[in-house]
Amino acid sequence: AQKVTQAQTEISVVEKEDVTLDCVYETRDTTYYLFWYKQPPSGELVFLIRRNSFDEQNEISGRYSWNFQKSTSSFNFTITASQVVDSAVYFCALSEENSGYALNFGKGTSLLVTP
C-alpha cells in the first residue's frame, strides 16, 4: 500500500502564481520524519525540508512554505510567486522508525512554470 500519496501528477502554472503541492501520508509510528525533495531535469534529488512528527510548526523559507497537519496526515508545500526555475518534479517522503528510517517516497508531482 502506498504510504505517501501525492495526488497531483502534473501541475502547470504561469510565473508569479502561487502553487500548493499536496502530500498525504500513512503511518502507525509515533516517531517519523517527513521530507520534501526537488528533482530538476539533471536528476539529482535536492533536499528542501525535514519535519519530525513532534513538530507541527509550519515553516516559511523565502518563497517556500510548508503546512504540516497531523490531524489530517498531510504535509503540503506551497511556492509563492513561482518562477520558471521552480520547474521540477517534487517528491514528498516519509521516514519511519519502524522501517529503519528508509525514505518512502510518493510518486512525485511534476511542476511546470511557464513565463
Partner 1 sequence: KAGVTQTPRYLIKTRGQQVTLSCSPISGHRSVSWYQQTPGQGLQFLFEYFSETQRNKGNFPGRFSGRQFSNSRSEMNVSTLELGDSALYLCASSLEGRSGYTFGSGTRLTVV
Q: What are the residues binding partner 1 (CB under 8 A)?
A: 33, 35, 37, 42-47, 50, 91, 93, 95, 97, 99-108
Shortest Å distance, C-beta 15 to partner 1: 27
Q: Compare residues 36 and 79 and give the one whose CB is closer to partner 1.
A: 36
Residues constituting the chain: 115
Residue number, 75 or 91, with CB nearest to partner 1 = 91
Indicate the residue among 41 and 115 with the shorter CB distance to partner 1. Answer: 41
Q: Are 4 and 21 in contact (CB under 8 A)?
A: no
The minimum distance between CB 16 and partner 1, in angstroms, equals: 30
Buried b (16+ CB within 10 A) or exposed e, 69-102: eeeebbbbbbbeebeeebbbbbbbbbbbeeeeee
- Concatenate the DSSP letters of all residues of 69-81 into one string: EGGGTEEEEEESS
Residue 4 C-beta: closest distance to partner 1, Å: 10
Minimum distance from residue 35 beta carbon to partner 1 (Å): 7
